[in-house]
Structure 1
Amino acid sequence: MRILVVGAGAIGGYFGGRLLEKGKDVTFLVREKKQKKLDKEGLIVKSSYGDICLPATTITSYEKSEPFDVVMISTKAYHLADAMNDIQPFINEETMILPLLNGVSHIDDLTSVFGEERVIGGLCFIESTLAEDGTVVHTSPMHELVFGERSGESTQRILALEKVFSGTVADIRRSDQIMTDVWQKYLFIATMSGVTSLFRSTIGPIREQPTGMATIKGLLAEAYEIMTSAGMPVDSRIIDVQLNKINSLNANMKSSLQRDMEKGQPLEAEHFFGYLLQKAKEKELDTPVLSSVYANLKVFENTKQTFTR
């Protein structure tokens, strides 16, 4: 099975690297500058589960290739449109598109362009970053990737993909309820990224402050109410599950959104929180914590634009 990984960044580089480590047929779709670096130095991953330094097959959007069986997309939401355009030459009717973005609105974007059949469900839990020299640095014990048919069916193609993914160093597994998993992760990531970006802090100090913990619980409750009011597949027990998960995180853990703020990079404010606020507006729900998180990010974006003009 031929696998195309869009980009070789913190997520695609890590999971693509683990598949490459296993000997799978992996190609990285990258820009020309990144291609030259990978061709010269190979793919480098630093992780407590074992470092990787392997030659990597690369391709740019300008090159020709036979269609791939699987296309793995883990870009930021604001790069999705470019990624969808870039992969067009490399897919056919049989290609599975596996998105690993946070949130859910990207699924509508992908299906509107490529059709319902090509897009399967996916998510990942990992704390990794890209060092200045391009090395993928895996910084916590989590390295989980979950995938499955959005219908929940155990199709022949999804079982074949499970076989390809099995036995990697990373924790990769198939789910028969992937869309429930996606929404539950959305609840987690909206809360985690929301509070860490709001307080400009790792999760530990936020949990230690009564007001910080109240903010975590408030954001969880608001996001859950929005999702259930919109008919999304999450059940009430997930609030306690996600709260326990947040309480069990390493105190020094940051969200990727917070890291983007620190680096002065574009933010996924609309993808994470604008989408939820629109759903809340449709249902006439009161969301003071979520609104504060969103306002914080928009002020940050506008201030950054003012300073950089």
Structure 2
Amino acid sequence: MKILIVGAGAIGGYFGGRLLEKEEDVTFLVREGKKEKLQQTGLNIHSKHGDLQFSPKLITKNEQSRPFDVVLISTKSYQLANAIEDVQPFVGPETMILPLLNGIAHLQSLTEAFGEENVLGGLCFVESTLAEDGTIVQTSPVHQLIYGERTGEKTERIGKLESAFTGTKAEFIKSDHINQEMWHKYLFITAMSGITSMMETSIGPIRDLETGQRTIQAFLEELTAIMEKMDAPIKPGIAETQLKRINSMGAEMKSSMQRDIEKMQPTEAEHLQGYLLVRAKEMKVAAPVLEIIYTKLKLYEQKINTDLQSE
């Protein structure tokens, strides 16, 4: 199976590296500058599950190639429009599009670009980041990629994809309920990223405070109420389940959004918190905690935009 991974960053580079370790046919779609650097350094992964180094196949958007069997997209939401444009030449009528973005809103853009039937459901749980030298540093015990047909069907193509993913030294999990899995991840990441970014600290000090614990719980219940009003396919009691999950995490755990803020980089606030706030207003669902967190994130975005303009 010919697999194209858009970008070679912390997520796509990590799971692509694990597929290369299994000797799957993997190509990375990258920018010219990134291609030159990777040709010099190779793809380097430092992981508690074992270090890897490869000289992978690389392609840029201007190169010619036959359509790929599957395209894995793990960009940030604000990079999605460019990613869709770049990948168009490599997508055929039978190409499966496997997105690993957080949230839900990206599905509309992808189905509009590639067709409803071509887009699978997907998500991942992994703590990885890029070091200054470009090495992918993966630090957590969890390294899961979950995928499946959004219809829940057990199709021939998903069976072929499962065969390609099986035996990889990371957890590639096929789900027959991928829509629900995506919504549950959306709930978790929106709460986790919002709370840690607003409080500007890892999760431990927040939840150790009685007021912090109540704020986390209130935010989860608020987000769940919005999703229920949207008729999202979430399980009863999911807010309590996600609260237990947050309380079981390592005290030093930070969200990727918080790490982006610390690096003065853009965030996915519009894609995560912003999307739900718009829907809450449409449906007249009260969302005071979400409004506070969204306001904090928007002020941050305005600040970095002002700083960039003044440079």
* TM-score between the two structures when normalised by the length of structure 2: 0.98
DSSP 3-state at the match of 1:138: strand
Aligned match of 2:62: 62
DSSP 3-state at the match of 1:213: helix
DSSP 3-state at the match of 1:252: coil
Aligned match of 1:176: 176
Letter in 2 for 1:69: D
Residue-by-residue CA offset, 1:272-308 (whole Å, 9 max, x unaligned): 0110011101110111111111000001111222333
Pair 1:213-2:210 in alignment: no
User: 5 Å matches for 1:108-127?
Assistant: 108-127=108-127
Letter in 1 for 2:141: P
User: 5 Å matches for 1:1-309?
Assistant: 1-308=1-308, 309=310
Letter in 1 for 2:265: Q
DSSP 3-state at the match of 1:16: helix
Structure 2 unaligned segments of length 5 or more: list them: none
RMSD across aligned C-alpha pairs, in angstroms? 0.8
Letter in 2 for 1:300: Y
DSSP 3-state at the match of 1:153: coil
Post-superposition shift, 1:263? 0.7
Letter in 2 for 1:153: E
Letter in 2 for 1:288: P
Rounded to whole Å, the distance in 2 between the matches of 1:249 and 1:90 is 39
Rounded to whole Å, the distance in 2 between the matches of 1:295 and 1:265 is 17
Letter in 2 for 1:264: M
Residue-by-residue CA offset, 1:160-202 (whole Å, 9 max, x unaligned): 1011001111111100000000000000000100100000011
Post-superposition shift, 1:213? 1.0
Structure 1 unaligned segments of length 5 or more: list them: none
| Count, aligned residues | 309
Post-superposition shift, 1:248? 1.1
Runs of 4+ with deviation above 4 angstroms: none
Rounded to whole Å, the distance in 1 between the matches of 2:211 and 2:191 is 15
Letter in 2 for 1:254: K
Letter in 1 for 2:202: T
Of stretches 99-108 and 213-222 in structure 1, the one that deviates more from structure 2 is 213-222
Rounded to whole Å, the distance in 1 between the matches of 2:214 and 2:296 is 18
Residue-by-residue CA offset, 1:130-171 (whole Å, 9 max, x unaligned): 111110000211110000000000000001101100111111
DSSP 3-state at the match of 1:243: helix
Rounded to whole Å, the distance in 1 between the matches of 2:134 and 2:54 is 14
* TM-score between the two structures when normalised by the length of structure 1: 0.99
